[in-house]
């Protein structure tokens, strides 16, 4: 089986965008919020939005299942207050639940959280619990920077985040550390901001004792870990200078990188430096880079090809990366898949 652990619903029905635009405008103008009941998204529209996109690409690329969450850049935790974020988050998560219900063999849900600038992460516990226990999701996207580009939240290793980690551990779900759209003109959402958040998060984690406090906590750093594999020697050196062990030991069974790296030399490097046990297959299709590489003739984000072609991976490594590691990192995945497959047949 080939499990893509990083897909966002980026082809949502139009009316979702209409709602969000109205909600954002109401925040700005301090007028009445649009009503959730006004949202019109039929099952047919949802089907149509996926058939020519994610589902088509799954078939073409030979992947089986996408771990699917709301559009990351759309989470917009910097827009409005906590109540705005909660309303929007529940709508987005419910929409993912509808996707999963329509295509139980193709998608498994991961939730967005109702984070908000300056608001304690413990306030996201209830929605996490709802998504996991009621919607059947298997993980969450945790935003380390709800400001949308200014990196002014406490580090992920700060006690500020602990009540949320406690609930994650209790529910046995991992988080993908993923920022949202950038409102800071100095950073480009998918070009620099995403990668910078990834690099920031990794660095916060490796000098901390977070995983002593939460030995079973699992965090996925997307986009191949940002700058980390390219600078593996720098991070190794900094860790060793700080009397920490080798990075491979630090990341252990707690930190994982995905394979959203859109060229062969990048994946080759990942294969060389990151243990295969800590790599999860992912493409982030349909996402940051939608085009076809004019040099290769293939989609930039068709990352399966790079993994298939990377000499640094053995077949055993590939099995881990495509399937086994996902089952390990998302402990609820196996049951969720069985349940959804039973429903589908």
Give catalytic residues, as residue numbers.
284
- The piece of 8-16, 102-110, 223-231, 325-333 that touches its own copies (CB under 8 A) is 223-231
By CB under 8 A, name the one of 52, 62, 118, 233 that touches its own copies.
233
Q: How far is the CB of 299 from its own copies (least distance, A)?
A: 9
List the x/- string, 294-323, binding to its own copies by CB under 8 A. x-----xx----------------------
- In our burial notation (b when 16+ CB lie closer than 10 A, e otherwise), range 274-295 reads bebbbbbbbbbbbbbeeeeeee
- Cα distances from 131 to residues 28, 53, 76, 110, 311, in angstroms, run 29, 25, 19, 8, 39
- The piece of 90-98, 120-128, 257-265, 331-339 that touches its own copies (CB under 8 A) is 257-265
Tell me if 17 contacts its own copies by CB under 8 A: no
Residue 215 or 265: the one with the smaller Cβ distance to its own copies is 265
By CB under 8 A, name the one of 209, 241, 297, 311 that touches its own copies.
241
Tell me if 149 contacts its own copies by CB under 8 A: yes
Measured in residues, the chain has a length of 345
Q: Which residues make Cβ contacts (< 8 Å) with residue 186, sequence separation at least 6?
A: 149
Residue 66 or 303: the one with the smaller Cβ distance to its own copies is 303
By CB under 8 A, name the one of 68, 103, 164, 235 that touches its own copies.
235
The strand pair at 107-109 and 3-9 is best described as: unpaired
Tell me if 118 contacts its own copies by CB under 8 A: no
- The piece of 11-19, 25-33, 86-94, 204-212 that touches its own copies (CB under 8 A) is 204-212
For the range 181-186, what are the long-range contacts, defined as Cβ-Cβ under 8 Å and sequence gap of 24 or more? 181/73, 181/74, 181/75, 181/76, 181/148, 182/148, 182/149, 183/78, 183/148, 183/149, 184/148, 184/149, 184/150, 186/149
Q: Which residues make Cβ contacts (< 8 Å) with residue 19, sequence separation at least 6?
A: 34, 36, 38, 39, 91
| DSSP per position, 103-119 | -TTTEEE-B-----TT-
Q: Which residues make Cβ contacts (< 8 Å) with residue 244, sequence separation at least 6?
A: 206, 207, 250
Q: How far is the CB of 68 from its own copies (least distance, A)?
A: 21
Q: Is 9 helix (H, G, I), strand (E, B) or coil?
A: strand
By CB under 8 A, name the one of 101, 122, 155, 324 that touches its own copies.
155
Residue 212 CB coordination number (10 Å): 7
Tell me if 160 contacts its own copies by CB under 8 A: no
Of the candidates 163, 155, 244, the residue with the CA atom closest to the CA atom of residue 207: 244
List the x/- string, 167-196, binding to its own copies by CB under 8 A. -----------------xxxxx-xxx--xx
By CB under 8 A, name the one of 232, 257, 313, 330 that touches its own copies.
232
Tell me if 289 contacts its own copies by CB under 8 A: yes
Q: How far is the CB of 301 from its own copies (least distance, A)?
A: 8
Q: Which residues make Cβ contacts (< 8 Å) with residue 71, sequence separation at least 6?
A: 8, 9, 10, 12, 92
By CB under 8 A, name the one of 126, 240, 316, 338 that touches its own copies.
240
Q: By the criterion CB under 8 A, which residues form the site for its own copies?
A: 144-145, 149-155, 184-188, 190-192, 195-196, 199-200, 202-204, 206-207, 223-224, 226-227, 229-238, 240-241, 261-263, 265-266, 268-269, 272-273, 288-291, 293-294, 300-301
């Amino acid at each position: 089986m080939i499990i893509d652990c990083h897909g966002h619903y980026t082809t949502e029905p139009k009316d979702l965008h209409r709602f969000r635009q109205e909600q954002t405008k109401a925040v700005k103008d301090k007028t009445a919020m649009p009503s959730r009941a006004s949202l019109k998204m039929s099952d047919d529209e949802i089907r149509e939005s996926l058939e020519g996109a994610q589902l088509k690409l799954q078939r073409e690329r030979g992947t089986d299942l996408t771990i699917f969450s709301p559009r990351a850049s759309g989470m917009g935790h910097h827009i409005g207050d906590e109540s705005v974020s909660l309303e929007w988050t529940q709508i987005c998560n419910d929409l993912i639940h509808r996707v999963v219900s329509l295509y139980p063999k193709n998608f498994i849900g991961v939730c967005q959280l109702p984070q908000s600038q300056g608001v304690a992460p413990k306030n996201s516990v209830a929605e996490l619990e709802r998504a996991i226990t009621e919607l059947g999701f298997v993980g969450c996207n945790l935003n380390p920077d709800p400001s949308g580009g200014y990196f002014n939240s406490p580090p992920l290793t700060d006690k500020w985040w602990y009540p949320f980690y406690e609930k994650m551990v209790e529910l046995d779900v991992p988080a993908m550390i993923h920022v949202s759209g950038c409102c800071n003109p100095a950073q480009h959402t998918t070009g620099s901001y995403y990668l910078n958040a990834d690099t920031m998060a990794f660095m916060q984690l490796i000098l901390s004792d977070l995983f002593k406090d939460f030995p079973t906590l699992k965090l996925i750093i997307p986009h191949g870990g940002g700058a980390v594999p390219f600078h593996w020697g720098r991070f190794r050196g900094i860790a060793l200078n700080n009397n920490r062990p080798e990075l491979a030991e630090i990341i252990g069974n707690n930190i994982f990188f995905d394979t959203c790296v859109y060229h062969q030399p990048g994946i080759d490097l990942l294969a060389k430096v990151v243990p295969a046990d800590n790599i999860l297959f992912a493409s982030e299709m349909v996402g940051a880079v939608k085009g076809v590489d004019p040099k290769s003739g293939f989609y930039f984000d068709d990352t399966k090809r790079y993994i298939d072609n990377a000499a640094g991976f053995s077949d055993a490594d590939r099995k881990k990366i495509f399937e086994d590691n996902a089952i390990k990192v998302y402990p609820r995945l196996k049951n969720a898949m069985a349940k959804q497959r039973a429903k589908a047949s």
